[in-house]
Amino acid sequence: MEFKEEFLERLKNARSVVFFTGAGISAESGIPTFRGNEGLWKKFRPEELANFDAFIRNPDLVWEWYQYRRKIVEEAKPNKGHLAIAEMENYFEDVSVITQNVDNLHSRAGSTKIFELHGNIERNYCIDCKTFYTHEELNEAGGVPKCKLCGGLIRPDVVWFGEPLPQNVFSSAERAARKSDVCFVVGTSAVVYPAAYIPDSAKSGGSYVVEVNIEPTDLSYRVDYSITGKAGEILPAVLEEVKKLKTKESK
């Protein structure tokens, strides 16, 4: 695979690298994206399911939707894209993963510095007393579980529309993006805010922004380099280049 010379030069000199990821990076692990032809939203309308009011109106339905997705996630494995990102930690001083995904696959692939902007489907908490529950602690027979301490409804620890992102996570992610030398934007339509500001933060700090996607997005005209292709193919090829560049450097 041939890459632009300017990109290779920036990679060679980079100390700090950020990967900002979306649902597309997990597509090759068999997890449906949100807005593609096979997207999750095609089968379930987001306004019916991914907001707090919908949960209060019909908690069993929303809980069932997350149970269905949890099963897909549990059976999925990190793919070559996730693994290539994790391996980058061997070649750069500082690697951060800023993800919109709730599937935990970056962690399972071995990445160590991860900012989860939209939460994690493996965690749950009580909407009233905020006690956290792992999956094993919940009795899931018969719809949405109730809190053992106060009887409140248990919800997944994810960020729904109209809810704020975890503030400290988002500001740390913005800082990491701003100080990065190269920022990869992988498998996201970049239409959901404020997460979609991350590439702009990177750019404003002088980072070289590289998009990896199977098709053009709203962001494509604003990045330094747009690479068209599957994350599971492009990222391992980038890793191979990095290995070559970093070996040359040490000679």
Q: Does 129 bind Zn ion (CB under 5 A)?
A: yes
Q: Which residues of 198-207 are buried (b: 16+ CB within 10 A; e: fewer)?
A: bbbbbbebeb
Q: In whole angstroms, how close is the CB of 49 to ligand BJW at the nearest point?
A: 8
* Rg over CA atoms, the chain: 19
How far is residue 4 from each of residues 128, 133, 247, measured CA to CA in Å? 53, 47, 19
Q: Which residues on neighbouring strands pair with residue 153, listed in sequence order?
A: 146
Q: In whole angstroms, how close is the CB of 55 to ligand BJW at the nearest point?
A: 11
Q: Binder to Zn ion among 36, 152, 205, 236 (CB under 5 A)?
A: 152
Question: Could you say which of 82, 106, 118, 135 is catalytic?
Answer: 118
Q: Which is nearer to ligand BJW, 134 or 250 (CB)?
A: 134
Rounded CA separation 235/198 (Å): 20
User: What are the backbone angles phi and psi of residue 19, rounded to the nearest 5°?
Assistant: -115, 115
How many other C-beta atoms lie within 10 A of the C-beta of residue 75?
10
Task: List residues binding ligand BJW (CB under 6 A).
Answer: 22-24, 27-28, 33-36, 39, 50, 100, 102, 118, 158-159, 161-164, 187-189, 191-194, 212-215, 217, 230-231
Strand, coil or helix: what is 48?
Answer: helix
Q: Binder to Zn ion among 147, 182, 186, 212 (CB under 5 A)?
A: 147
Q: Does 210 bind Zn ion (CB under 5 A)?
A: no
Rounded CA separation 182/204 (Å): 12
Q: Binder to Zn ion among 4, 150, 163, 204 (CB under 5 A)?
A: 150
Q: Is 118 a catalytic residue?
A: yes
Q: Which is nearer to ligand BJW, 100 or 180 (CB)?
A: 100
Closest listed residue to residue 81, CA positions, set 128, 136, 19, 35: 19
Q: Which is nearer to ligand BJW, 127 or 245 (CB)?
A: 127
Q: Which is nearer to ligand BJW, 11 or 198 (CB)?
A: 198
* List of residues contacting Zn ion (CB under 5 A): 126, 128-129, 131, 147, 149-150, 152
Catalytic residue positions?
Answer: 118
